Structure 1
Amino acid sequence: MKRRVAKIVFFSTIGAVFLLTLMGFIFQDKIISSALDNIRKNIRSRITIGDASFSLIKDFPYASIRLYDVSILSTKDIARKDFRQIIKPDTLLKARALNIRLNVLDLINNKITLKQIAIKDGELNLLVDKRGKNNYQIVKKSKEGEKKEEILLKVNEVKIQRTKLRFINLNKQIALVNTVKNLKSNGRFSLNTFDVKSKADVIVNQLAIGKISYVSSKRFEFSGRIKSAAYKSFNFADFIVTYKSNKLTVDGGFSTENNFYVDAAISGTDLVLKEMNELIPKVSQNLEKINFEGKVNISAKAVGFWNNKHHPFVYGEFDVRGGKSELLTDKSIASVNMKGSFSNGKGDINKAFITLDSYKVNTNFGDFEGKFTLTNFNKPLISLSSNFNLFISQLNEAYHIDSTKQIDGTVIGNITANGIVDFDSLSVLKLVRLVNNGNFKLSEVSFPINGNRYNILKGEISFIPTITKANISFISNSINGEISATVSDLYDGLMLEKPFNVDITANTKDINFDNLLSLNFKKNKSTIKKELNLANLTLNVKSKSAILRGVRMNNLEAIIQKEGSTIAFSHLNANAFGGKVNMVGKIEPNLKNKIDVDLYAQVDSISIESLFSSFNNFGQKTLTNQNIRGTASGDIAFRGQHFQNGKLDIKSIDCVSNITISNGQLIKFEPAYKLSKYIDLKELENIRFANLKNQITIKNGMVNIPAMYIASTAINLGLIGTHSFDGDYSYRVKLALKDVLFKKARSGLRKQISQQEFEDNTLLYFKIEGNSKTSKVSYDWSGKSWHLPELAPINGTPKKVEEPKPSAPPKSFKLQWDGEEVSTQRKATGQQPTAQVKNERKEPKKEEKKTKFKVEWDE
C-alpha cells in the first residue's frame, strides 16, 4: 500500500512539474506579454526590454520573469536642459538584469502581485528640476469615474546589487549619489507607500546640500525599518547607521513634500573620534587642520527645513574620554576628557558653537582644566576659563610659535579669556590679547628682548583688561633684583601698536639702563617717521650698581620716565666718578638716527681723571686722563648727541660748567710742558694747585676757558684760551716777571689768587698754540690777545665773559734777546727799582737756550 502511495506521489509530482514546465513553455510569451501590458497600461514612461524568460518551476508557487537590458525612460515632466551640465536626464532606470516574482493565481485573474524584485548592475536616477518637477512619477492617474486597477507589490524581498542611485533635486539644491553594493528589503511595498525592513551596504559618493559637501566617498551600512508615504516622507525606527567601527541609532525622519524637512535624532556610544571627524563637514579651512582621537558618546537632534537658504537646527551633547588632538602640527595632545554640547547655528557657521562644560587636557607641554566655548567657525570666537601649568619650551617644540623661539620656563596660573582666534596666524601675543583676567606664577622663565636675555627666577603676574600687575625677581645683563610693575593699556600696545603705560618700582643689585631702555629705530618705508617703542615707562629705582650711557654708578636712586621715544630723568642721585652726582635731564632719538641728550648735573668731589676716562677723554688726545688729576665740584648743563652705538658726537656738544677743582694736578700737559721749555722752568711739567674756579663752555667742538688766575707749585699764572676736540688749542698765559727771572718754585700750595693780586706784578704775555702733534710757544709783545671774544649763544641767550680789568701800568724795562735788543717804554710812575737785576746768566755754550733774554732797567 505504501509503495503504491509513494509511486502515486512521485509520478504526480513529476507530472505536475512536467505540466508546469509545459505550460510555461507554451504560455511564456502570452504571460510575459500580459504582465508587460498590465505594467505599461499603468505607467507613463516608455519601457524597453532586450530579452525575457519565464518560469513556473524556479520560484514555485510563484512565477518568475527575468528581463534583460531593461530601460525605463524619465517622464517628460522635467526640463531636461536644467541637467545638461550634470547628468543625462533621459533615463530613470537601467538594469542589466531585472528579476520579478509573480503570484500565479493573480495571473489567472489577470492581476499582478509582485512578490520580489531583484536588480543587478543597474542605475536609478531620481531627478527634480528647478521648478520642482520630477522624472519618477510614472504611474498614470485615473480619470474621473474610472476604476483604477491596483498593482500590488507585496515585497518579501527586494535585492539590489551593484547599482548606482542618484537623487538630484535642483529645486532644493540637494545632491545624493550612492553606490548600492548590496541591499535587501522585505515588507509591504506599493507604488505609493512602503513599510519595509532593510539592510544595505552603500557607498555615499556625495551628499551635498547647497554649497556645502557633507559626505564624500564614505562607506556605510544601514539596517532597520523605513516607512514612506507617497515617497514624499520617510520615517526611521530602530535604524542603525554603521561607519567603520561606529554605530549610530537614528529615529525620526524627513519629508520632501514641499520643502526638505527633517526631524530626526541620532545617538551613539564609544564612537571613535578620529573616524567620526572624517564625517564633519569641512566648512572652514581652520577645521581641516584639526584632527581628533579618542572615544565619544553622543546624542543629537536635527529639526527644521533644509535647503540652500535654510538649515535645520542641530543640537547635540557629547562626552569624550581619553581623547587626543593634532592641532596645527603633528604634535599630539596626550589625553583629553571633556563633556559638552554643540550646535550648527541653523546652518550659519557664524552662529555655530561647541561648548565644553568641563575639560581636562594633559599634553607634552602642560596640563589644563576648565570650561571652554567656541562659536563662529568662520572667525572662531572663544571663551575660556582655565587652570593650567605650562612648560614654555615644549610648547614651542609642539607648535613652533615664532614669538617663543627662545623662551623657556614654567608658568602656573588661571585665566579667563575671550576673543577671536585666527589659526592661520596664531602667535603668543594674539593669544595673550584674548585674556581678560589672569593670575600667573612664573618659575625659571627665560626670554630675549632686543638681543638681551632676561631670566625670571620667580614671579607673580595678575591682570585684567586695563591693568597688569607683576612682582618679579630678575636676573639678566640688564637687571638683577626685585621688580614690581603695573601696566595699563597693555593689550592696545601689543595688538594695536598703541602706547601703553608701565610703572615700575625696582630694588636691584645691578641695572643697565643702556640695555633696559634701549630705543628701537624702525624705518617706515612710506614715511621718514620713526616707529619707536610704544611703552611709556615710569621707573622708580634703587640699585647698588648701575650703568647709564656707559657710566658706572653706585648707590643709585632715580626716577626715570620714558614716554614714547623720550627718556627723562626727573631725579637721579648716585655715586659716580669717585664722587656724588645729582642729575636731571632727558634723552630722545632724532630723525638722523642719533640720540639727543639734554642734562643738568650737580657734582660733588668727582674724580676728574675718572670723568675723562669714562667718557674716553671726550674723543681728543691732548688733555687725557693721563694728564690731569684732582676732584671737581659744581654744576654742568650739557646738551649733545650720541650715536646709536653709544659713542658721543663731539661736534654736537653744547655745555656750560661752573667748576671748582681741588687738589688739581697737570702732568706733562703739552701746552704747559712747552712753556716750561720756553722759559726754562721745569716745574711747569708737573703743576699742582689747590683750588680753582671757572666757568668752562663747550660748543661746536671747542672748549672755551675764560680768564682765570692760578696759584700753583710751579708758578702763579693767568690763563685764557680755547681747546678743540680735534686736538687744536690756543692758550694765552700771563706770568709774573719776577717768577720767570728767579724761577722760584713754591714749596706749598695756596688758594687761588685774585686777579688784583696777580695784576700787581710786572707781567709777561705768552701764546701757546698747537695740536696733538706739534706746538709753538711765543711771546705776545702787545698783550692784546688777552681778551675773549663774545661766546656763541647757549640756550638761545648770548653770553659774554667779562674781560679782565686793565692791568696796572707796568714799569719801564728793556728786554734783550741773544742777538737783538728790543726796548719797551712805559709811562713813568715815579717808582724806582729797588734792586739791580742781573742782565745775563752765564751758562756753558753747549747748553745755551734759544729762549734766553736780558733785562735792563732804564737809568
Structure 2
Amino acid sequence: MNRIPKILKRFIAILLSLCIVLVLIAEMAEDFIAKTALNQINSDIDASIEIQDISFSLLKRFPYATIEFENILIQSKLNKDTLLGASKAYASLHTIDLINGNINTKKLELKDGFCNYIISHNNQCNLDCLLSIGGNSNSSESSSSQQLDLNKVLLNNIRFFYADSTSATQAEILIDKTEVKGKGSNNTYQAKINGNAVVSNCNYQNSNLHKLENAQVSYQISLADKDLHIENLLITSKGVNLHAKGNINLQDKLNSNINILTCNVQLDKIKQYIPKDILYNNQIQQITGTLALTGSIEGNLSDTLLPRVQANFKLSNAQLKKEGFPALQKLNCKGSIDNGAERAIESTRVICENLDFTTEKSSGSLSFDIVNLDKPSYKFDSNLSIDLEEVKSFLPDSLMKLCSGTANVHTKGKGKLNSLDELQNPDYLMNRLQGKIDLKDVKASKDSIQLDSLNLLLDYKPNQLAISLAKGTITSHNIKLKKGSLQLNLEGKLSNLKQLKASIDSIHLQTNQSLLSGNIQMENVTEPNYKLHLLSDINLQEFKHLIPDSLITNLNGSIITEIHSAGKLNPDSIDKQIVDLVCNHSQIKANCKNISIKSTNPSIQISDLSGQFKIQEDTITLHNTTASAFGINMNLDSTKIGNYYHTIVENKEQKLSIYSSLHFDQINYQTIDSLLQSFSSDTDNAETKSSRNYSYEIKGKLRGDHFTYQKAKANNISTLFNISDSIVLLDKFEFDAFKGNLNNSVRYKIISDNKQIVNFYNHTENLDIAQLMKDFNNFKEYEQEYIKSEQISGTLSSDLHGEVLLMGDSLVHDSTLLKGDFKLEDGGLFNFKPAMELSKSTNIEELDNMHFKTIESKVFVFKNAVYIPQTEIKSNAMDISAYGMQSFNDDYEYHLRVYLGEVLRGKTKRIREKQEKQENKPDGGTSGLTSLFLVSKNIDGKSHSGLDTKKGRAKMKTKIKLQQVVLDFLFHPKLIDFDTKVEENPTKHE
C-alpha cells in the first residue's frame, strides 16, 4: 500500500516533466512548424495567403499537435480579389508523423469563414488558382502530402458566395454546424458529412428566385471514393419541403439513384417565384393548394440519356382563379410520371388517376393515360357538370346573351398522336373521340330567339351523332317542343369532302300540335348530291309568331306535307338553284286543312282554305280545294299549272299552261273590279321592271251560285273559258237572271295596246225586259235616256250575234255590228217618246200605252244605229206594223201602220175576225181594213210626227235593206270561233 503513493508521485512527476518537455518543444518548434505549414500551403496554391497569427501546441488537443490560425485571408495574385477567409482555423496533426516530417491532419475546424466562387463572363473561375495542388513536389513528397485521415472537420458559420456571370446565377450559402469525417490517400477517400446550411440571396436570370428569403438545408452525406451516398437530405423554405436520399456516383456521367421521399409545395407560397409575364399571359389571378411529390431518379445525370425518373404527384385542396373562367374552389389531382426503362421521352408515361374540381355551382373530373410524349398514345375519360348560368358571363355575347340550366358532358377517347398537326385534322378527332352532352332545363337567348326548359341529349360516337330531345319551349315564338330525335351517320373523311357521305337516317321533331319526320342522304359536300324524304304535319298557328304582325295578323289551320327531292347543289349559287330543285327535282304533296290568313294588306284575306296540292316536274296540281277570300267562297278541283318554272321564274319564250275547274258561291262586281285594278296595277309595275317573254293559256270551267252587279243578280252561273295573251274566250256562259235564262259566248281579242275587238253570241229565254232595265238603272251608266223600266214590259227571248270595237275603255259606236232575233211576249210600251209624239199628231191615244201579246223582230246594228226591219205588233187594242231606226246620237225614224177602224172604234169583233184570217194586201196589210200610215222622227234635231208618205216609207225600207246587205257582207257570225278547247264533262283531268 505504501508503494502506491510513491508510484503516483513518480507518475505525476513524469507527466509534469513530459508536459514541460512538450511545452518547450512546442515553443521551440512553433516558428519552424508555422513556417513549414505556411510554405506547404503556398506551394500548393497559386495565391497569396495572409495569416495574422499562427500558434502551435502539443497539449491543447493531446495526443494531437494543434496548429491554430487567426484571421486567414487568401487573395488572387492576379487581381488581388479576395477568395477565402476565416477568423479561426484549427488543424490537429498526428504528432508522431509530424516528428517524422509528415503532415497527417486528423481534425480541422473553421470558424466564421467565407468563400467567394465567381465565374466571369469569359467563363474563368476565380478559384482555379487553388486547384493546382502539388505542382512543385516530387512524387514521394506528393504521395505523402496527399494522404488524408480526418477524424473530424467542423465548419461553423461559413458563408459561401456563388456568382456565375455566364448564366446570371447567384446564391449565398451559410454553412453552420457541419461535421465532416473522412480519410483519403492518393485517389481513394472516404467521408461522412452531417450538418446544416441556409441558402439565401439567390438569383437566376430574369426569374423571381431573388424573392427566396431563406432555404434551410439539413444533410447527412457519406462519400466513398467517387460514390456519394445521401443518407438524409431535408430542404425547407417558404412553401417547399423536400426530403430525399440516395446515391450518386461522382464519375463523369454522375450515375445516380435518388429517392424523393416527400416533396410538398404550397402553391400560394411559390407563386411569388413564378415570372409575372407567365401569370399575366395565362391570366392567372390566384392559385393555392398543396402539391405532394414522391419518386426516384435512377441513372446518369450528365449523360445525353436521361435518368430513369419515376414520380407520384398529388394535388390537394387547390384553388385557381383565371380570368375568363369560373374560379375553381377545390381542385384535386393524383397521378404518376415514369420515363420508362428506356429513360427517353418516347417511353415516358403520364397517368392521371383522377383530377376533380368544383366551382361555386359546377364540377368535373378527368382521368388520362399518356405514353410517349413525342408521339403520344393516349386514352382519357372526363365528366363535367356545368351550371350554365355560372359560365354565361364568360361566354361572348355573340354566342349567347342569356343562359341558365345544366350541361352534363361526358367525353372519352383513345389513340396515338404522331404530331400536333393532327389535332387540326377533324378526321383524327372524329375517329377517336366519343361523348355525350346532356342539357337539362336550359334557358338561353340568341338574338330574337329565346329557349326555355330545354332538355336535349347529344350522343357522339365515331362518325355517328344521335340527338334526343325530351322537351323544350321556344318562348320567343311560343312554340313548345315535346320530343325529337336525329340520327346522323358519316362515311368518309372531312378532309376529302368530295368523297364524304352524310346520311340523316331519321329525323323526328314534335311540338304540341306539329310534327316533322324523314331522312336525308348526301354525297360530296362540296357539290352535294342529295336525296331526302320528309313528312310534316304543321299547325300554322304555332308558327304565326315567326311572321311579323306587320305582314300577317292572324294565321290558323294545318298543312300535312310529304316531300321527295333529289338533286345536286352548288353551294355558291344555292339561292338560285333552290327554286329549280323544288320545281323540277322534287315531288311535294300537301293537304291543307281549314287555313285562314289575315293580313294588313286587304288583298290577302283567306279563310277556310282546304284541299290537296302537288308539285312535281314543273307542274302544280290542286284537287278538291276550297277557300274563302274577298268575301267569296271558292272551290277548285282538277286545277293544273304547268311549265311555270320556265315561264314565270326563268321568263323563257315558252307557254304557261293553267287549267282549272272553279266554283264560287257568290260574288259582286265591286270585288272583281277591285281585284282587277289591283292586278292591273301590279302588272303595270311588274312590266316596268322587266319584260315578259313567255305566253300563257288559262282555261277551264267556272261555276257560280250568285253574281251581283249593282241591283242586277245572276244565279246558276257556268262557263267554259280560255284566256291567252291576246284572246279571252268564254263559251256556254250561262246563267239565270232577270227571271230568264241567258247563254252567251264571248271572244275578246286584243289587237294592240289600245284596241280590242269583242265578238259575242247571246241566246236569251224568257227575260223580263222591265226587270233588266230596272236592275241596270235604265242603263244610265251608258248615257241611255230614251226609255225607262216603267215604260216597257214583257218577256224577251233572243238570239244575238255581235261585234264591238273598243278603243281603250271607250266603245266605238260606228264599228259596232249586231244581228239579233227578238221575241217579246206579253209586253207593253208606255209613254215612249216617239210613240207619244205620234199619238199627239194623230190623236191615236192607244200609241201612248200599247199592250201586245207577241212581238217578233230581227234587229241589227250598223254604222252607229239600231235598225228594226218591219215588225208586227199585235195587241188587244190594235195591231201595228213598225220599222225604222234609232241612232246612238238620239236620231230616230219610225214608220208605223195602223188600221183606221181600230183607231176609231178599237179592235171590234169584225176586225179581229179579219185579222185572224190574215188575208194580206200587196203592201202587207190585212185585207178589208183601211191602213193608216204614220211617221215619227228626229233627224239632226228636227222632229216630225204625223201621217207618213209612201216615199218616206219606201226610202226607209230601202235604207234598212241596203244596210242589212252590207252588214251581211261584212259580218259573218258563223265564222267566229268560240271554242275554248275545254271538255264540258271530262272523265278525268290531270
Identify whether the pair has TM-score above 0.5, normalized to the shorter chain. yes
Partner residue of 1:444? Answer: 441
1:242 is aligned to 2:236: yes
How far is the alpha carbon of 1:570 from its aligned partner? 4.1
1:507 to 510, 524, 543: 510
The 3 A distance-change label for structure 1 pair 541 and 314 is farther
The 3-state SS of whatever aligns with 2:37 is: helix
**Separation (CA, whole Å) in 1 of partners of 2:301 and 2:245:** 18
Match of 2:862 in 1: 815
Q: Give distance in 2, aligned partners of 1:310 and 1:91.
A: 42
From 625, 640, 647, the equivalent of 1:605 is 625
Rounded to whole Å, the distance in 2 between the matches of 1:745 and 1:689 is 17
SS in 1 for 2:132: coil
Matches within 5 A, 1:568-579: 570-575=587-592, 576=595, 578-579=609-610
1:54 and 1:289, CA in 2 relative to 1: closer, same or farther beyond 3 A? farther
Matched letter for residue 64 of structure 1: E
CA drift of 1:149 comes to 1.8
Aligned equivalent of 1:188:
181
In 1, the alpha carbon distance for the partners of 2:432 and 2:668 equals: 64
Q: State the match for 2:538 in structure 1.
A: 543
Q: Distance in 1 between matches of 2:633 and 2:157?
A: 111
Q: 1:115 aligns with which of 108, 111, 130?
A: 108
Task: Map 1:759-838; keep pairs closer than 5 Å.
Answer: 761-767=800-806, 781=815, 813-817=860-864
Aligned residues of 1:102 and 1:112 also touching (Cα < 8 A): no
Is 1:357 the equivalent of 2:353?
A: yes
Aligned partners of 2:382 and 2:859: how far apart in 1? 100
In the alignment, the residues of structure 1 paired with residue 236 and residue 438 of structure 2 have an alpha-carbon distance, to the nearest angstrom, of: 49
| CA displacement at 1:186 relative to structure 2 | 0.6
**CA RMSD across the alignment:** 6.4
Among candidates 60, 64, 68, match of residue 68 of structure 2 = 64
User: Judging changes above 3 Å, is the alpha-carbon distance between structure 1 residues 673 and 100 closer, same or farther for their aligned structure 2 residues?
Assistant: closer
1:858 partner amino acid: Q
The equivalent of 1:340 in structure 2 is 335
> How is 1:51-130 mapped onto 2 (pairs within 5 angstroms)?
52-55=52-55, 61=61, 62-71=66-75, 94-95=83-84, 97=86, 99-103=88-92, 111=103, 113=105, 115-118=108-111, 120-125=113-118
SS state at 2:390 partner: helix
1 CA distance for matches of 2:397 and 2:308? 37
Q: Which has the higher helix share?
A: 2
**Deviation readout 1:575-617 (Å, 9 max, x if unpaired):** 146122434469xxxxxxxxxxx774535324373xxxxxxxx
Q: How does 1:441-480 map to 2 (within 5 A)?
A: 441-447=438-444, 452-455=449-452, 457-472=454-469, 473-476=471-474, 477=477, 480=481
Give runs of aligned pairs for residues 513-528 of structure 1, distance below 5 A. Answer: none
Give 3-state SS (helix, strand or coil) of 2:38's partner.
helix
Map of 2:252 onto structure 1? 258
Aligned to 2:298: 303
Query: Which residue of 2 is the match for residue 225 of structure 1?
Result: 220
Deviation at 1:663, TM superposition (A): 0.9
Compute the displacement of 1:32 (Å).
4.7
Gaps of 5+ in 1: 1-8, 75-89, 518-529, 587-597, 610-624, 642-647, 675-680, 698-702, 723-727, 749-758, 770-774, 784-810, 824-833, 845-854
C-alpha deviation, 1:762, in angstroms: 0.8
Give the corresponding residue for 1:322: 317
1:858 to 964, 967, 982: 964
Residue 404 of structure 2: aligned partner: 408
CA contact (8 A) 2:515 2:536 kept: no
> Bigger CA drift: 321-330 or 735-744?
735-744
Q: Select which of 300, 304, 308 maps to 1:313.
A: 308
Structure 1 residues 340 and 379: CA distance shift in structure 2, 3 A:
same
Superposition deviation, residue 46 in structure 1: 0.8
Q: Does the aligned pair in 1 maintain the 2:211–2:272 contact within 8 Å?
A: no
Partner SS for 2:327:
coil
Q: Distance in 2 between matches of 1:779 and 1:297?
A: 114
Deviation at 1:812, TM superposition (A): 9.7
Aligned to 2:926: none
| Structure number, greater radius of gyration | 2
**Stretch moving more, 103-112 or 492-501:** 492-501
Q: In the superposition, relative to structure 1, how do residues 295 and 264 fare at CA in structure 2: closer, same or farther (>3 Å)?
A: same
- Helix, strand or coil at the partner of 1:395: helix
Pair 1:605–1:72, CA change in 2 (3 A): same
Match of 1:37 among 27, 36, 39: 39
Residue in structure 2 matched with residue 795 of structure 1 by the alignment: none
Alpha-carbon shift at residue 265 of structure 1 (Å): 1.4
Pair 661,835 (structure 1): closer, same or farther in 2 beyond 3 Å: farther
What are the Cα deviations for residues 405-449 of structure 1, in whole angstroms up to 9, with x where unaligned?
54432234644245889999x99x999979833344432224457
1:276-310 deviation line (CA, Å, top 9, x unaligned): 78899999999967775333543211223345843
Residue 761 of structure 1: CA displacement? 4.6
Contact 2:815–2:863 (CA under 8 A) maintained in structure 1: no
Q: Deviations over 1:749-791 (max 9, x none)?
A: xxxxxxxxxx98513245485xxxxx666679599xxxxxxxx
Match of 1:580 in 2: 611
CA contact (8 A) 1:656 1:695 kept: no
* Cα pair 2:82 2:116 within 8 Å, conserved: yes
In 1, the alpha carbon distance for the partners of 2:265 and 2:24 equals 55
1:144-197 deviation line (CA, Å, top 9, x unaligned): 6664323645543224544323689x9xxx997532144442122568553201
Q: Using a 3 Å threshold, how does the CA distance of structure 1 residues 203 and 683 change in structure 2: closer, same or farther?
A: same
Unaligned runs of 5+ in 2: 1-11, 520-524, 548-554, 596-605, 678-707, 776-797, 818-857, 868-880, 892-958, 966-990
Q: Cα gap change, 1:340/1:214 in structure 2, threshold over 3 Å: closer, same or farther? A: farther
Within a 5 Å distance, the mapping from 1:678-693 to structure 2 comes to 690=717
Distance (Å, rounded) in 2 between the aligned partners of 1:283 and 1:354: 28
Question: C-alpha distance in 1, partners of 2:889/2:755?
Answer: 33
Cα distance 1:70–1:543, how it changes in 2: closer, same or farther (>3 A)?
same
Asked if structure 2 preserves the Cα contact closer than 8 Å seen for 1:262 and 1:303, the reply is yes
Q: 1:260 and 1:666, CA in 2 relative to 1: closer, same or farther beyond 3 A?
A: farther
* Residue 266 of structure 1: how far off its partner (Å): 0.6
What CA distance in whole angstroms lies between the structure 1 residues aligned with 2:257 and 2:429? 43
SS in 1 for 2:862: strand
Do the aligned residues in 1 keep the contact of 2:866 with 2:885 (CA within 8 Å)? no
Contact 1:504/1:538, CA 8 A, preserved across alignment = no
Contact 2:252 2:302 in 1 (8 A): no
Change (3 A) 1:319 1:91: farther
**Alignment partner of 1:632: what SS?**
strand
Indicate whether 1:718 and 2:746 are aligned.
Answer: yes
